[in-house]
Amino acid sequence: MNKITGLALAAAAALTVVPAALAGSDAGSVYVAPMVQGVWLDDGRNADDGAGFAFAVGRAISEKWNIELGLHGSSHDATAGRKLKFQAVDVAVQRLFYRDAPVNPYITVGVGQLQTRFPGLRDNEIMLKYGVGVLADIAKNTDKGTNLQLRGEILGRRVDFGNDTAVDYLVGVGLAYSWGGKVARKAPLDSDGDGVPDDMDKCPGTPPGTPVDANGCELDSDGDGVVDSKDKCPGTPRGTKVDEVGCPVDGDADGDGVKDSKDQCPGTPAGAKVNDVGCEIGEIILRGVVFDTGSDVLKPQSLLILDSVATGLAKQPGTKVEIRGHTDDVGSEALNMDLSRRRAEAVKAYLVGKGLRAEDLTTVGLGEMQHIASNDTAENREQNRRVTLQFLETSRLPPGEELVLRGVTFRTGSAQLTPADRLIVDSVVAYVQSRPSYSIQVRGHTDDRGSDEANQRLSEARAKAVADYLVSKGVDAARLSSIGLGETEHVAPNDTEAGRAQNRRVTLKFTGR
């Protein structure tokens, strides 16, 4: 046994020179392990100790276990110059303790068949193999998933034959080579070090340390077209015209008397009245609110438009509005003045009936003094028979409020605005334009007729149709977005036609920009 101890110490000494920066073979890898062995025989064998070989092929089946098929053999001097030879095949498992470490001890146990050869004798016996070992990294390649290790082990080999038992000891040193382990993912190339891989970087060569967006381009936090690193005036309001260093160009491009740096409505028509942020103000024509000649009775189609107006004004408590009545030139001037007043009062009465405060509404009749078209045709005279709203004082609209476009109901299954629908949308254009600091989300809704998928598509198309029509009437497209909500937000039961009609609607949701 002194020889066994010496060889074991030599193997352990060899393992201590292995570099410690490496890590063990990975679970899932396959390996082969050739070794040389010193074999010390049981005294009952009546033969000398000797040397032999071993070869194993195995697989790392988990973080803690290997399984392998082994083959080993040895030759020994016996009496009268004869040779005693052993050959064995076994299946063994190894319990590893630190697979990811550069030095990994293990215990092993296996069972197999040992063939003993002696002149005139060949015997096969079942053997039990057990022992301890250690694996130490020599050269691990994470790019290829391979590993070369030094392997050493001390084994016991027990064979029972008849009433006798023989226990041999084997000490082996060799190599283990594995493949099929984990392959390290190569970091994508990022030449400028901005955190965006070259294949996705739309702005290569960004200076080191510069914050970038998902495309690898320098940030432009205020959206003025000048990157933050060059922007000497950060936080410029969106839409403001700036110079090459991101500072407002303090001109007045549209000549409305409001500097471009404060103008939230650039491009106002020449001569138009504007407020302190450069947005046009004035009268809102209630298109579609018309009367028969000589009458102050609201037509049925006018009520739908006024319903929409009432809903919007109700969400702006404190707004002061002057309702102005107008006529064509049919009849005397005195009669027309009185008629226009009565028409304005008819509109006020209807709005008050819808919940608006009477003290917030005033009326005036202007007769035929402010024509917007010649009175030489029936169509032109109808344009002049109109009612307008003049906002005298506008309070801020509460964030998140929605304006229902009552009367914009579309035909069943259609996303095309009818002429009546356009009149209603026309009536809110000025209302929208008078609030330039708000973004508007146009939201489409349906009843529950048809499939969910079809209703979703239809609501999206209806919302987009209204948004596109508002743009065609001069509303800034940048303020608008559209969304379809299908049948997900009912405001009435769908079990009656009246309820379904309420659910087929379009709303405008205002939010602060």
Residues 6 or more apart whose CB falls under 8 angstroms from that of 165 comprise 158, 159
Which amino acid, one-letter code, is at 165?
Answer: T
Distance between CA atoms of residues 10 and 192, nearest Å = 52
Residues 6 or more apart whose CB falls under 8 angstroms from that of 496 comprise none
Q: Identify the residue whose tokens are 């320098």.
A: 218
Distance between CA atoms of residues 308 and 498, nearest Å = 18
Q: Of the candidates 226, 227, 251, 223, which has an alpha carbon nearest to the alpha carbon of residue 237?
A: 223
| Domains along the chain with CATH numbers | 2-179 (2.40.160.20), 250-275 (no CATH), 283-393 (3.30.1330.60), 402-512 (3.30.1330.60)
205: its two tokens: 């060569």
Give the pLDDT of the chain (513 residues) as one tens digit per residue: 444 444 444 444 433 333 333 345 678 889 999 999 999 999 888 899 999 999 999 999 998 999 999 999 999 999 888 999 999 999 999 999 998 889 999 999 999 999 999 988 888 999 999 999 999 999 988 888 889 999 999 999 999 877 889 999 999 999 999 998 777 666 677 777 777 887 878 788 788 877 888 787 877 878 887 888 788 888 888 777 778 887 877 777 777 777 776 665 566 656 656 656 565 555 677 877 877 778 888 888 888 888 878 876 776 666 778 888 888 888 876 687 788 889 899 999 999 999 998 988 888 777 776 778 888 888 888 888 888 887 764 444 444 567 777 667 777 778 888 877 787 677 677 667 767 778 899 999 888 888 889 989 999 999 999 999 999 989 999 999 999 998 888 888 888 887 887 788 888 888 876
Q: What is this structure's pTM?
A: 0.38
Distance between CA atoms of residues 435 and 53, nearest Å = 92
Do residues 59 and 29 lie in contact, with contact meaning Cβ atoms separated by under 8 Å?
yes
Exposure string (b/e) for 225-250, b if CB count within 10 Å is 16 or more? Answer: ebbeeebebeebbebbbbeeebbbee
Phi/psi-derived region of residue 301, left when phi > 0, alpha when psi is between -120 and 50, beta in every other case: alpha
43: its two tokens: 């005294």
Do residues 384 and 369 lie in contact, with contact meaning Cβ atoms separated by under 8 Å?
no
266: its two tokens: 């650039």
Distance between CA atoms of residues 476 and 467, nearest Å = 10
Which amino acid, one-letter code, is at 353?
Answer: G
